[in-house]
Amino acid sequence: MPILDQWNLRLDADAILRGQGADPVILRTRRPNLVKIAEQAIGEALTRVYPIVLYERYPVGSILHNSIRLLNGKEITGKAISQYLSSSKEVLVMVCSIGAELEEYASQVMETDMVHGLALYGAGSAAVEALANAACQYFEEQAAQKNWQTTIPLSPGMIGWPIEVGQPQIFSLLDGEQAGVKLTESAIMLPMKSLSLILGLGEDLNQQGTPCDYCSMRDICKYRSDHAKQDA
Amino acid sequence: MPDLTAYSQEFAQLLLNSDVQRAKEYSLELLDGGISPIDFFNDIFTVALTEIGDKFARLDIFLPELMDAAETAKTVSTEVVQPKLAEKNAGYNTIRGKIVLCSVKGDLHDIGKNMVKLMLQVNGFDVIDLGVDISPRDTIRKAKEEEADLIGLSSLMTTSMPYMKETVELRDEFGLKGKVKVIVGGAPITPEYSHQIGADAFGRDAIEGVRECLRLMESTK
């Protein structure tokens, strides 16, 4: 299975602060020391992330109620799947991970300094999010070369695709261990700073909506406004 | 006794500013100025933490600010308040309760649990942190061995939620119902789920978790 591991990730303090549930604009004025901690976390994080994307493409065979069946006979089920992927000719399944070193370091730091540890966790979340965004953009550009489009990325845990349903489906289509990612019995990916995604590929795809529409965190997520701006 | 409200407000501001040195100095000034360590602990330190918790609950401050304030409070407690209590009020117990805390079996997330741990510690709880991916049997065994008042269960995954139910059931089977109260929390947990599985309390976040633990301790008196 193809692996992409040459990624130049960029992080900024704002993304890290948002990853901790804070508004960067307010904190810059009110608590500059917390912004400094976030900035320090960037440097520490970037030396401890090993971005990798493992992926595979599968032709779609048929569309069923609430599911799609791939030509290899495997099914992907979920309301979000049928809604967003039903017009796709292929699906691209991927796992993005930044490795385990940063989260191990963050755990160690958290034992003695919760604030610093929290910033490092925020940096990890921002890094894997940045990796997934970069990967989606890469595949979108690849698709565009043959006048295809990509759907919005769907992840297990979104509304309409429960995590306990979606994660095993993705890992039945990808050998996650090639990217150093394992799935536990309770559907947690290890390293935890990993994201699994599926994209539909094809012509004239219905592009309505955003990933936020199907995210279970949509009412409280600090990233939502940013996605909305990008999508506008 | 003088009204200590103004002191608690000033102390809360020092915690929010994360000014560890000044917070320690201020505490010592008050303690050396005639306020007893017990009054300081109950009417200034604890009241200030409650005020900060209320600010977080009202979304007036963000999570990193809450954690930063809690870390500062922990330092003041360890380096100033507890030594003064030991010196002047030997035998006075500031421990409000003992809690066994963990992320349940199948769940490896620990950030939320660690936040709850810190907030419980600064609010006077003796916290025995078992870590993550802890089986119901290990949780109950430890609670029994430690004669804990409370068990705190965290779960961030719908897939690990059933182990909360199993832990509550095992507590009951061990005859600990009413003796060891169970509080649950985590992103997918709701008050309805908490009630359904027979837990004694539910905490939406670390602040509500502490409040509920204090309420449970009051109810056992």
Whether residue A192 and residue B115 make contact (CB cut-off 8 A), yes or no, is no
Query: If you average pLDDT over residues A126-140, what whole number do you get?
Result: 95
Instruction: Show me where the domains of chain B are located.
Output: 5-88, 97-219
Distance, first Cα to last Cα, chain B: 26
Can you tell me the distance from the alpha carbon of B146 to that of B98, in angstroms, rounded to the nearest whole number?
A: 8
Q: How is residue B10 written in tokens?
A: 């000033």
Give pLDDT, residue A225.
Answer: 47
What would the pLDDT profile of A60-86 be if each residue is shown by its tens digit?
A: 999 888 899 999 999 999 988 988 898
Helix runs in B20-151, H state only: 20-32, 37-39, 46-57, 63-76, 82-88, 111-122, 136-145
Contact call for B106 and A184, based on CB within 8 A: yes
Domain region containing A156: 3-231
Which residues in B lie closer than 8 A to residue A185 (C-beta atoms)? 106
Residue B92's pLDDT is 75
Cα(A20)–Cα(A38) distance, integer angstroms = 10
User: Phi, psi at residue A222, to the nearest 5°?
Assistant: -80, -15
DSSP code of A85?
A: H
Contact B157 A184 (CB under 8 A): no
Of A20, A117, A187, the CB nearest to B157: A187
Q: A144 to chain B, minimum CA–CA distance in Å?
A: 37
Top residue of A114, A167, A219 to mutate, by most chain B CBs within 10 Å, is: A114
What CATH number has the domain bearing residue A145? 3.40.109.40
- Contact (Cβ atoms closer than 8 angstroms) between residue B154 and residue B205: no
To the nearest whole Å, the CA of B91 is away from the closest chain A CA by: 28
Residue B198 has pLDDT above 90, yes or no: yes
Interface touch A187/B159, C-beta < 8 Å = yes
Res B158: pLDDT: 87
Task: Find the residue in A nearest to B133 (Cα).
Answer: A186
**CB contacts, 8 Å: A171 with chain B:** none
> For the structural domain made of B5-88, what CATH number should be given?
1.10.1240.10
DSSP string, A191-224: SSSEEEEEEEEESS----S-GGGG-TTTTT-TTH
- Beta-carbon separation of B108 and A188 below 8 A: yes
Average pLDDT over residues B36-60: 93
Write out chain A residues lying below 8 Å of B118, CB-based. 114
- Contact yes or no for A115 and B71 at CB 8 A: yes
Q: Could you tell me the pLDDT band of residue A160, with boundaries at 50, 70 and 90?
A: confident
Number of compact structural domains in chain A: 1
Task: Collect all residues of chain A within an 8 Å Cβ-Cβ radius of residue B18.
Answer: 31, 33
What is the model's pLDDT at position B171?
Answer: 97
Which of 3.90.550.10, 3.40.50.2300, 3.40.50.280, 3.30.420.40 would CATH assign to domain B97-219? 3.40.50.280
Contact between A42 and A153 under an 8 Å Cβ cutoff? The reply is no
Instruction: Give pLDDT, residue A36.
Output: 95
pLDDT of B13 reads 96
Residue A71: other Cβ atoms inside 10 A? 11
Closest to B132 in 3D by CA, of A138, A107, A171: A107
ipTM score of complex: 0.82
Q: Which candidate, A103, A80, A74, A97, places its Cα nearest to that of A168?
A: A74
pLDDT at B8: 96
Residues of A in contact with B157 (CB under 8 A): 163, 186-188
Decide if A110 touches B, using CB distance below 8 A.
yes
Q: Tell me the nearest-neighbour CA distance from A201 into chain B, angstroms.
A: 30
Q: Which of B100, B114, B98 is nearest to B170 (CA)?
A: B100
- Residues of B with CB below 8 A from A184's CB? 106, 108
What share of chain A has pLDDT > 90, as a percent? 74
